[in-house]
Amino acid sequence: MGSISIKTPDDIEGMRLAGRLAAEVLDFVAPYVKAGISTGELDRLCHDYIVQVQQSIPAPLNYCPPGYTPYPKSICTSVNDVVCHGIPGGKVLKNGDVINIDITVIKDGYHGDTSRMFFVGEPSILAKRLTDITYDCMWLGISKIRPGAHLGDIGHVIQHHAESAGFSVVREFCGHGIGKVFHEEPQVLHYGRPGTLAKLEAGMIFTVEPMINAGRREIREMTDGWTIKTRDRSLSAQWEHTVLVTETGFEVLTVSPGMPAPPSFIREHHAGSIAALA
């Protein structure tokens, strides 16, 4: 195991900008997420906004971790039973679909990584409940972040909340350190035991991005080499923020005017940690 980098004040400034830009792409694309649009059209809209308006780079495009083929698009669009890394294309959204849109931009060399769920028309009761529980899982995990806390504290609270609702936590994918590198140490597991794994220090930056399945936790990979689905074809939901460990707690970096309000337990206890609320 290597070590977790501590960001400099300049790095943190760069990450604040990259994080805000990533969140603003989600604000931009939200009104287009309607029945009749294809995921490929959402990709093109986001790509053009990132490149032309934000003068930034869409990090997924041609991203090629060891053992993978280059990712062919600029965003990830994961619909219904797709857990993550859905490749945009000809799939046309219809009423009742639920979609995660995951945006990573590179600005001045720094990565900002965030995703949100969107409903196409009226969601089913199950889709709404899964999406809401997953949102609270992400924020419960974030709420544990402070110097001296352990990564296992984050995983534990997420796992407990998801499983108490009768849902399951995907094990094969996790949050990650991020900075000038897209995916760096540490791995941020969304399950675990309190007091285990790395101890947090001010200046660390990582994502919290739980993938929660309505049914069983097992997944399968599609032959495109990227798309991950639930093995039992149950619905899956995910939310993601990029977060800085501060001297007193945390600062969410992927903030924007259009971001959904955090749950009330966050608004009441951690308002100062979210620039958009302060």
Per CB under 5 A, 136 contacts Co ion: no
Using CB under 6 A as the binding rule, whether residue 76 contacts ligand MF3 is answered as yes
Q: Between 213 and 254, whose beta carbon lies closer to Co ion?
A: 254
Closest CB to ligand MF3: residue number: 60
The CA distance from 36 to 22, in Å, is 25
Residue from the set 5, 77, 134, 207 that interacts with Co ion by CB under 5 A: 207
For position 43 contacting ligand MF3 by CB under 6 A, the verdict is no
> CB 120 → Co ion: shortest distance, Å?
20
Considering the complex, state which of residue 234 and residue 238 has its C-beta at the smaller distance from ligand MF3.
238
Nearer to ligand MF3, 63 or 119 (CB): 63
Of 61 and 202, which has the nearer Cβ to ligand MF3?
61
Q: Which of residues 80-109 bind ligand MF3 (CB under 6 A)?
A: 85, 102, 104
Shortest approach of ligand MF3 to residue 74 CB, angstroms? 8
- DSSP for the chain, please give it: --------HHHHHHHHHHHHHHHHHHHHHGGG-STT-BHHHHHHHHHHIIIIIS--EETTTT---TTSPPP-SSSEEEETTEEE-PPPSSPBP-TT-EEEEEEEEEETTEEEEEEEEEESSSPPHHHHHHHHHHHHHHHHHHHT-STT-BHHHHHHHHHHHHHHTT-EE-SS--EEE-SSSSSEEEEE-SS--TT-SPBP-TT-EEEE--EEESS-S-EEE-TTSS-EEETT---EEE-BEEEEE-SSSEEE-S--TTSPPPPHHHHHH-GGGBTTT-
Decide if residue 63 touches ligand MF3 (CB under 6 A): yes
Per rule CB under 6 A, count of chain residues that contact ligand MF3: 12
Binding region for Co ion (CB under 5 A) out of 63-71, 147-155, 193-201, 233-241: 233-241
Q: Where does this chain bind ligand MF3 (CB under 6 A)?
A: 60, 63, 71, 76, 85, 102, 104, 113, 207, 209, 226, 240
Q: Which residues are at the interface with Co ion (CB under 5 A)?
A: 102, 113, 207, 240
